[in-house]
Amino acid sequence: MKKYAFLLCFTLLFLSACKKETPAQLYKIEAKQIITDSTTKEKQSVTDVINPYKKQLNEQLDAVLCYTSSDLTRTDGALESSLGNLMADICFEQATPVLNKQINKSADFVLFNYGGIRAPIAKGNITARNAFEVMPFENELVLVELTGSKVEELLNYLAVNKKAHPVANITLQIKDNQYYNVHISNKTFDATKNYFILTSDYLQEGGDKMSFFKNPVSLHKTSYKIRTALIDYFKKTDSITPKLDNRFTYAN
Amino acid sequence: MQTRRSFIQKTAATTAFVGLGGFSLSSFNKPNDKHITILHTNDVHSQIEPLPHNHYKYPGLGGFARRATLVDTIRKQNPNTLLLDAGDIFQGTPYFNYFGGELEFKLMSMLGYDVATLGNHDFDNGIDGFVTQLPNASFDFVSANYDFSNTVLQEKVKPYKIIIKNGIKIGVFGLGVELEGLVSKRLYKETKYLNPVEIAQDITRELKEIEKCDLVICLSHIGYYYKNNPDKVSDLILARNTKDIDLIIGGHTHTLLPKPTIEKNSIGENVLINQCGKSGVYMGKVDFYFSKDGSKTAKGKSIIV
C-alpha cells in the first residue's frame, strides 16, 4: 500500500464545561489519500466476479460488424476527412427514420466538430470497440432549427475556424475567412429561410464555442446516441468505402 | 497551512481557556480511545478494471480488485471502518453501457460499501434503470435534497442513515447536484431538486440535536467549487453556511485535493472537505479519534494542523 502526497494530522481540542448527554469526545482527525496502484495485489474473489463480465464484454466489443478497405482518419483531407464524412453521413442516414417517426421532420444538413472524433479506425474489421474509441462520450443527436442569419453565423464559424468539422448534406467552399457556394440538400443556401441542423447535444449547448446553436428557433432531442448510430450502421453494412468528396474545401 | 506564529497563538489561547474551564486536555492517541475510519471514493465512473496502460494521466491505476485488498487491509487494522461513495458510480466504460451498472453495484457490495449518494450520471439509464439495479446493492443510498416522492425511488432512498460503530453514532446524509440542464428530464422524471444548503441545515439539526450523532458526514455530489461561477452552490459554500457537519465527502467536479480543505462553518468551527479525483485512482481515508471518557462535551474547538 503506497500512501500519497499528504498526511494531514490535526488535533481538535474541545474546551467545554461538563454536560452529561454526549458520550464521546472527538479530539483528533487524520486524513490522507491512498493511491490504488500495482503495488496492491488484486483480491482474487473480486477478480473472479469481474472475469465473466469482462469476457462477455470483450466478445461483444470485438465482434466483427463490418469491414473498411482503408484507414479511416480525421486528418486525411484539408477541410474534410474520411472518418468525419463517414460519421456525419451515418448520423444523417440513421437519424432520418428516427426524426421522421418522432416529429415527422428531417434534417437539412449535419454539423459536428473535428475535436469530437476521438480515434481513427484502422483498415480491416470494424467492431463496436471502434465505435467506443471514436465516440467515447454519451453525446446524443439533436435537431436544431436555426434562422438563416444564425446559419450565416454557422458558415462564418466554419470559414474562420478552418478545421475539418464533419458535415453532411451540405457543400461549401471557404477562402480568406469567407464562405462561398453553399448548397444545402443540393439547393443554394437561402438566408431568409430557417434550416434544421442535426448535431450533438454537446455542441448545441455551446460546445467548441458553437454559440450559434444557443437559443434556437426550436430544438428536438432524439435521445439517439451518436455511438449507437455508428454501431447500428456498422451492423447493417458489410463494407465501408472511405471517401473524400470535396463537400467542404478551400475555394481556388 | 497555518503559520508557526498562529499555531503558538492558538495554543496559548487554548491553554488560557482550559485554565478557566478547569480540566486538562489530551491530544494523544490513547490505546483505549475509540477510533472510526472513514474510507471514501467518488466519481468512480464504472472503472471496474484499472485504467488502461496508455492513459494520459493515470496509466494502470485504480481497479475494484485492488481497492478490495486495500479496504480489507484497513478493516483488519480497524474493524470500525465505514466505506462511502459520493456518487457517479455509473458511466465511463462499456461495462456500464452493456450491463447497466449491475457489476458496479455487485462489486461495491462485495467490498462492503456502507452508504452512497447519487450523482447525476447515476440517472443515465433513467431513474428506472437505477431502480432495476438496486437489488444488486447491499448498501444504502442516501439523498436529502432529491425529493423522490413521486418516483419509483420513493422510500428506497432515504435522506440519511445512522450507523453505530463501537458506540459512536455516525449520521451520513446525501446531497445531489441540480439535475435540470445536466440530465434529461426524461431520465430523472419527477425527481425534485431542493436547495442543498437549506436541506443540510435542517438535516444536521435533526442528526445533531434529535438523534445526538457524534459524527455527521455529508456525502455530496454538488461539486467542490466553481471558479467561473463562484456563487453556484458547492461544498465550500455548503461548509460556510451550515454547522454541525464534521466531514463533507465531495464529488462531481472530479477534484483531487492534495489534502483535505479545512473551512470555517457558520459558527466559526472547522469543517473538513475531501474529494479524491475520479475513476477510483485514489481512495480517501479519514480517521476520527474519540476519547473514551464520556463526561465531556465539545463546546468550542480548535484545530491544530
Residue B47 grid coordinates: 472503472
- Cα gap A123→B203, rounded to integer Å: 58
Cell of A153: 453565423
Query: Strands A178-184 and A170-175, how do they pair?
Result: antiparallel
| Whole-number Å distance between alpha carbons of B9 and B129 | 55
Torsion of CA A146, A151, A152, A154, to 10 degrees: 120
Q: pLDDT band at residue B32, thresholds of 50, 70 and 90?
A: low
Nine cell digits for residue B287: 480517521
Hey, are the CB atoms on B282 and A34 less than 8 Å from each other? yes
The predicted model gives B36-46 an average pLDDT of 97
Nearest C-alpha in A relative to B187: A223
Q: Is the pLDDT of residue A208 over 50?
A: yes
Q: Domain B34-290 is of which CATH architecture?
A: 4-Layer Sandwich (3.60)
* Contact call for residues B117 and B141 (beta carbons, < 8 A): yes
Count Cα atoms within 13 angstroms, Cβ side, for B107.
Answer: 33
Chain A residues in contact with B111 by the CB 8 A cut-off are 46
User: What percent of chain A is modeled with pLDDT above 70?
Assistant: 91
Residues 6+ apart with CB under 8 A from B270: A12, B262, B263, B264, B301, B303
pLDDT interval class at A59 (50, 70, 90): very high
Pick the more confident residue, B50 or B22: B50
Please say if the pLDDT value at position B23 is more than 70. Answer: no
Measure in Å the smallest separation between the Cα of A28 and chain B Cα atoms. Answer: 5
DSSP B89-114: -S-SSHHHHHHTTHHHHHHHHHHT--
Residue range of the domain that includes A22: 3-62
CB A12 within 8 A of CB B215: no
How far, in Å, CA of A40 to CA of A51, rounded?
A: 19
A29 lies in the same domain as A99:
no
Residues B297, B37 contacting (CB under 8 angstroms): no
Q: Which chain B residue shows the shortest CA-CA distance from A130?
A: B94
- The whole-model pTM stands at 0.80
Number of domains observed in the structure of chain A: 2
pLDDT tens, position by position, A101-120: 999 999 999 999 999 999 99
Please tell me which of the candidates A11, A15, A56 has its beta carbon nearest to residue B299.
Answer: A15
At residue A25, the pLDDT reads 84
Closest CB to A35 among B281, B294, B295? B281
Chain B stretch 166-205, residues whose beta carbon is closer than 8 A to a beta carbon of chain A: 167-168, 184, 186
- Output the pLDDT for position A26: 86
Give the cell for residue A165: 468539422
The answer to whether B196 and B222 have CB atoms below 8 angstroms apart is yes
Task: Output the CA torsion sign for B134, B140, B146, B148.
Answer: positive
Q: How confident is the model at residue A136 (pLDDT cuts 50, 70, 90)?
A: confident
Rounded distance, CA A248 to CA A66, Å?
Answer: 27
Distance separating the N- and C-terminal Cα atoms of chain B: 7
Average pLDDT over residues A165-186: 97
- Chain B hits for A41, Cβ within 8 Å: 66, 69
Query: Residue B274 and residue B251: Cα distance in Å, rounded?
Result: 9
Which of B2, B107, B257, B296 to substitute to test the interface with A, most A CBs within 10 Å? B296
Same domain, A47 and A69: no
Does residue B32 sit in helix, strand or coil? coil
Q: What is the mean pLDDT of chain B?
A: 87
CATH number of the domain that residue A213 is part of: 3.90.780.10
Is the pLDDT score of A3 beyond 60? no
Round to whole Å and give the CA distance between B145 and B117: 11
What mean pLDDT do residues B150-177 have? 97
Give the model's pLDDT for residue B292: 67
Please tell me the predicted confidence (pLDDT) of residue A18. 38
* Residue A22 pLDDT > 70: no
Q: Are A216 and A115 members of one domain? A: yes
Provide the chain B residues 257-296 that lie in CB contact (below 8 A) with chain A: 257-260, 262, 270, 272, 274, 276, 280-296
B214: helix, strand or coil: coil
Burial, B225: exposed, middle or buried (Cβ in 10 Å; 0-12, 13-18, 19+)? middle
Residue B303, pLDDT above cutoff 50: no
Extents of the domains making up chain B = 34-290
For chain B, percent of residues with pLDDT exceeding 70: 85
Closest listed residue to residue A230, CA positions, set A105, A54, A144, A112: A112
Closest CB from A5, A13, A50 relative to B258: A5
* pLDDT level of residue B293 (50, 70, 90 thresholds): low
CA dist., res. B243 & res. B260, Å (int): 18
B63 in reach of chain A (CB within 8 A): yes
Pick from A172, A217, A177, A212: nearest CA to A193: A217
Q: Which residues pair with A12 in a beta bridge?
A: B303
- Examine the pLDDT at A186 and tell me if it is beyond 80: yes
Q: Name every chain B residue with its beta carbon within 8 A of the beta carbon of A27.
A: 25-27, 33, 289-291
| Bridge partners for A195 per DSSP | A146
Q: How far is B263 from chain A (nearest CA, A)?
A: 14
Q: How far is CA B87 from the centre of its chain?
A: 9
Q: Which residue has the cell 439517439?
A: A224
Return all residues near B302 (Cβ < 8 A) that are at least 6 apart.
A12, A13, A15, B10, B13, B14
ipTM attached to this prediction: 0.87
Grid coordinates representing B219? Answer: 456525502
Here the cell at position B7 is 499555531
Instruction: Name the strands in the sheet holding A239-240, side by side, starting at the edge strand that comes first in the sequence.
Output: A124-127, A64-68, A239-240
Identify the band that residue A87 occupies on the pLDDT scale cut at 50, 70 and 90.
very high
Apex CA A115: angle with CA A110 and CA A119, to 5°? 100
* CA–CA dist B86, B109 (Å, integer): 15
Residue B74 pLDDT level (bands cut at 50, 70, 90)? very high
**Biggest distance spanned by C-alpha atoms of chain B:** 65
Alpha-carbon distance B198 to nearest alpha carbon in chain A (angstroms): 26
Q: What is the mean pLDDT of residues A213-226?
A: 96
The 3-class secondary structure across chain A, one letter per residue, is: CCEEEEEEEEEEEEECCECCCCCCEEEEEEEEEEECCCCCCCCHHHHHHHHHHHHHHHHHHHCEEEEECCCECCCCCCCCCHHHHHHHHHHHHHHHHHHHHHHCCCCCEEECCHHHCCCCECCEEEEHHHHHHHCCCCCEEEEEEECHHHHHHHHHHHHHHCCCCCEECEEEEEECCEEEEEEECCEECCCCCCEEEEEEHHHHCCHHHCHHHCCCCEEEEEEEEHHHHHHHHHHHCCEECCCCCCCEEECC
Radius of gyration of chain B (CA): 20
- Predicted confidence (pLDDT) at residue A4 exceeds the cutoff of 80: no
Average pLDDT over residues A179-192: 98
> Where is A131: in which H helix or E strand?
helix A128-134
Asked if A107 contacts A143 with a C-beta cutoff of 8 angstroms, the reply is yes
Same domain, residue pair A57 and A90: no
- Of B173, B185, B255, B188, nearest to B218 (Cα)? B173
CB spacing of B297 vs A50 below 8 angstroms: no
Between CA B16 and CA B300 the distance in angstroms is 13
- The closest CB to that of B212, out of A21, A30, A38, belongs to A21
